[in-house]
Structures are given as structure tokens and as C-alpha cells.
Amino acid sequence: MNNKKDVKKLELSFVESKDGSHTLLRHDINETYHSHNGAIQESLWVFIDKGLNYLKEQNYTSIKILEVGFGTGLNAVLAYQFAKKNEIKIEYISLEPFPVPLEITEKLNYTDFLGGESEAIFNQLHQVSWEEKHQISNYFSIKKVESTLEDYKGSFESQSKLNYFDCIFYDAFAPSKQAEVWQLSNLQKAFDFTKENGVLVTYCAQGQFKRDLKAIGWKLESLDGAPPKREMIRATKISS
């Protein structure tokens, strides 16, 4: 769709979602970064609970995450909190072709709800440089990569990311707005990058998306979506 230069000029504005937490509206596609029904509520439900808590229940003591769309950094700060609370080591790699400017991220109100040290951590997650790994705490490291999933090669310090990640946070804009992110080759790439028994979680439950996941070999679970959404998807990589 839009090339990078055009998008960088795009207008963003703040929207308060139903749980009081902000989301951003991207004017060119008239799409928000989260559900209007609650940005924090949705992130906690889809990515932290159905993704990270699920892996915790399978006794994971370390989790490697690939996020498709760093955006506001909300999933990242929630994952940081999860890592700390559960003493689970998280390596977080996040892709974002269109970083949100700091003058906007510093006005987001997430840390009003998250308490503790979240404000310092949230700011740090935004301020650390791109393309390098940063150890934020004993339990959490982050590397932000300014790239689309399409362009991401997954090689880092000469290590391939094939069969590497335990959890993919697939948090792109909806297929109706950004079809290219949901294309089959991206879903195949996510599969190839995921370790055996690893999962992809997403708020999306669109029909073609589900058929594409199945065709690639993902095993699908339809779960209740973040209220009031009916459905979300967790897909597991099981090679038979």
C-alpha cells in the first residue's frame, strides 16, 4: 500500500478506548492501533493471557517473542511486566516499519494504569535504539527492528531465526486495511520462524486468514476474543 515516505508523514491522533487507555488513530487508513473496547484489555487478553500465560502453563521458563507491529509499545511493556512477575526470561524482537514518534508515545496514558516502574520502562522501551538488542532487566531484553515482516530476514548476529520463536504476536492492522501483512508468504515465514509447539496469537479471526494458516500447517484454536469480540485465533506449530 503506502510507501514508507508517505506513511511517515501520516497523521495520528489519540483516541480513548472504553477501559480508559489510549489508542492511536491512523488517519490514512482510518484504523486504530487497538480495539475501541479497551486497548489494555485487548492486549492483556490476546497476547499476554492467550499467548504468554498459555506457554507459562506449559512450564516454559523462557520465551522468545516475535512481534509483528511494535506500534505504541503496549504489548512490549505488558510482556515486560509478565516476565518480571512470573520470573520468566523473555527475549522480545519487534518489527515496525513506521515507528511512532516519541513526542506521541510519551503522551500515551498506559502507565497511569500499569503502575509501579512501568513509566520508566515504557519510556526506555521507546527510547532505546533500533536494530540492537537491549537488556532491560534480568528477565527482559528487546530488539526493535525497523522493518516489515515481508522484508525481515531474521538473521541476527549471524544466527538464523528459523525454528527460533516460541510466540508470535501477530498484531498487524486488520486484513481489510493492510492485506499485504496477512499474505500467505508472511504466514509461512512466521511458521518457519516458530519453534515446534510454539504459538501465533492474534485478535484476527478472518476466514481467509484461517484457511491460509491451516494450509501452511498451523493447528488452529478458535478462542473467545477480547470482549465483546466473539473469536480470536491461537495457532500452534506442530510438525507431524
Catalog residues that contact ligand SAM under the rule CB under 6 A.
33, 43, 68-72, 74-75, 95-98, 148-150, 171-173, 178, 181
3-state helix, strand, coil in the chain (%, to 5): 35, 30, 40
**For ligand SAM, the closer CB: 138 or 155:** 155
How far from each other are the two terminal CA atoms of the chain, in whole angstroms? 37
Contact 226, 41 (CB under 8 A): yes
Q: Least distance (Å) from ligand SAM to the CB of residue 15?
A: 12
Q: Least distance (Å) from ligand SAM to the CB of residue 46?
A: 10
**For ligand SAM, the closer CB: 114 or 172:** 172
**For ligand SAM, the closer CB: 75 or 194:** 75
**Residue 111 grid coordinates:** 502507565
**For ligand SAM, the closer CB: 87 or 103:** 103
**CB contact set of 134 (below 8 Å; sequence gap of 6+):** 128, 141, 142, 143
- Tell me the torsion sign for CA atoms 148, 94, 42, 114: negative
Q: Least distance (Å) from ligand SAM to the CB of residue 100?
A: 7
Q: Least distance (Å) from ligand SAM to the CB of residue 86?
A: 20
